[in-house]
């Protein structure tokens, strides 16, 4: 065999390995987020201590059958589709309009849950405002509606080493519904954390590195440095020891991110991370969905209980879309590394 052909075969093997490595991370991040969402749906808004979830349940808050997922998953699936279609933020907002108004990307063709800021942004977009100007800008519009739908961005960014470029993309996808810098900083922390877990870093090291990133890239007066202060507990060494009574799990982006990271850091399995997050109460679906994406990336598919996966409503459609997404991401990674597929 000639040297050239040996190199080709070696490259082919490496491409297969690279593709497999991407699949290993896309699947659990996506399914982890969906599982967290559907586990939280029946008990959304319930107060901590008034219920206990230890399996996939149904009915409750929205009277939906077991395995029903909500806006967190629907809007994430819209982004997945939009990435595969190489769409823009405007084509993504078109999908959000279809979600809100026609039940697009929902389990049963009906929308039963949507955040106020997201709905207002969709209305602005329908009235002709460009997607980039649709997000709410006030301090009171810092809900978790952007972080709950952006996990797929990780698979566009894992080969991007410029923090500035990553921040730009994350900002662009956040501000279509949430334009306040606190929401944008929340999205940066969340995506950067997923990226570090993607690269197999420990949770502790990942968190430490993220605070350093902000300090290295933004000076004292930069608005993102100032906004980082609102998230400072996450970066404190004893964050895991914060008592549960001091962890809020409502829809404020700071609280949601704290609750999700705290749930992941205080448990040793995907299952326990999700159950801890759901049982915190309040914005259960989104807190557990964020926890689920992080825990999925961290524990991989082996960690996700098969009996929970089997209960996802419309699972075949989701399987099909996630498969297309992982193939897209794998091909993208291979082209970035080798120049061709």
Nearer to Mg ion, 83 or 290 (CB): 290
- Asked if 192 touches Mg ion (CB under 5 A), the answer is no
Judged by CB under 5 A, the residue of 285, 290, 295, 311 near Mg ion is: 285
- Asked if 72 touches Mg ion (CB under 5 A), the answer is yes
Using CB under 5 A, which of the segments 197-205, 255-263, 285-293, 312-320 binds Mg ion? 285-293
Measured CA to CA in angstroms, residue 281 lies from 13, 39, 53, 118, 286 at distances of: 47, 11, 10, 22, 11
Q: Which helix (H) or strand (E) holds 207?
A: helix 203-217
Tokens 């082919």 sit at which residue?
Answer: 12
Using CB under 5 A, which of the segments 8-16, 105-113, 213-221, 252-260 binds Mg ion? 105-113
DSSP 13-48: HHHHHHHHHHHHHHHHHHHHHHHHHHHHGGGTTPPT
Length of the chain: 341
Nearer to Mg ion, 72 or 175 (CB): 72
DSSP 272-322: HHHHHHHTT-SSHHHHHHHHHHHHHHHH-GGGS-HHHHTT-TTHHHHHHHH
- Asked if 94 touches Mg ion (CB under 5 A), the answer is no
By rule CB under 5 A, what count of residues binds Mg ion? Answer: 5
- Asked if 70 touches Mg ion (CB under 5 A), the answer is yes
Q: Kindly state the smallest distance separating residue 80's Cβ from Mg ion, in Å.
A: 17
- Asked if 175 touches Mg ion (CB under 5 A), the answer is no
- Mark residues 113-132: x for contact with Mg ion by CB under 5 A, - for none: x-------------------
CA 341: distance to chain centroid? Answer: 28
Nearer to Mg ion, 71 or 192 (CB): 71
Positions in the binding site for Mg ion (CB under 5 A): 70-72, 113, 285
């Amino acid at each position: 065999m000639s040297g050239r052909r040996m190199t080709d075969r070696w490259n082919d093997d490496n491409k297969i390995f690279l593709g497999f490595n991407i699949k290993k991370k896309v699947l659990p991040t996506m399914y982890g987020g969906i599982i967290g969402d559907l586990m939280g749906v029946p008990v959304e808004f319930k107060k901590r201590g008034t219920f206990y979830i230890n399996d996939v349940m149904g009915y409750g808050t929205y009277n939906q059958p077991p395995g029903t997922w909500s806006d967190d998953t629907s809007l994430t699936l819209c982004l997945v589709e939009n990435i595969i279609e190489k769409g823009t933020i405007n084509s993504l907002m078109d999908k959000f309009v279809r979600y809100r108004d026609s039940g697009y990307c929902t389990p049963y063709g009906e929308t039963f849950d949507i955040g106020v800021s997201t709905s207002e942004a969709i209305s602005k977009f329908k009235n002709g405002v460009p997607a980039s100007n649709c997000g709410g800008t006030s301090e009171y519009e810092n809900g978790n509606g952007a972080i709950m739908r952006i996990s797929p961005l990780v698979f566009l960014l894992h080969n991007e080493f410029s923090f500035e470029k990553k921040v730009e993309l994350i900002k662009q996808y956040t501000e279509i519904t949430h334009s306040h810098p606190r929401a944008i900083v929340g999205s940066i922390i969340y995506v950067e954390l997923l990226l570090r877990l993607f690269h197999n870093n420990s949770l502790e090291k990942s968190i430490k590195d993220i605070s350093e990133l902000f300090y290295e890239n933004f000076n004292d007066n930069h608005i993102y440095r100032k906004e980082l202060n609102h998230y400072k507990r996450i970066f404190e060494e004893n964050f895991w020891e914060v008592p549960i009574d001091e962890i809020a799990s409502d829809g404020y982006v700071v609280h949601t991110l704290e609750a999700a990271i705290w749930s992941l850091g205080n448990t040793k399995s995907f299952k326990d991370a999700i159950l801890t997050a759901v049982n915190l109460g309040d914005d259960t679906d989104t807190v557990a969905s964020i926890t689920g994406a992080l825990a999925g990336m961290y524990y991989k598919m082996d960690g996700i209980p098969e009996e929970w996966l089997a209960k996802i409503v419309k699972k075949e459609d989701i399987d099909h879309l996630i498969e297309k997404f992982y193939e897209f991401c794998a091909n993208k990674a291979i082209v970035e590394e080798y120049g061709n597929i």
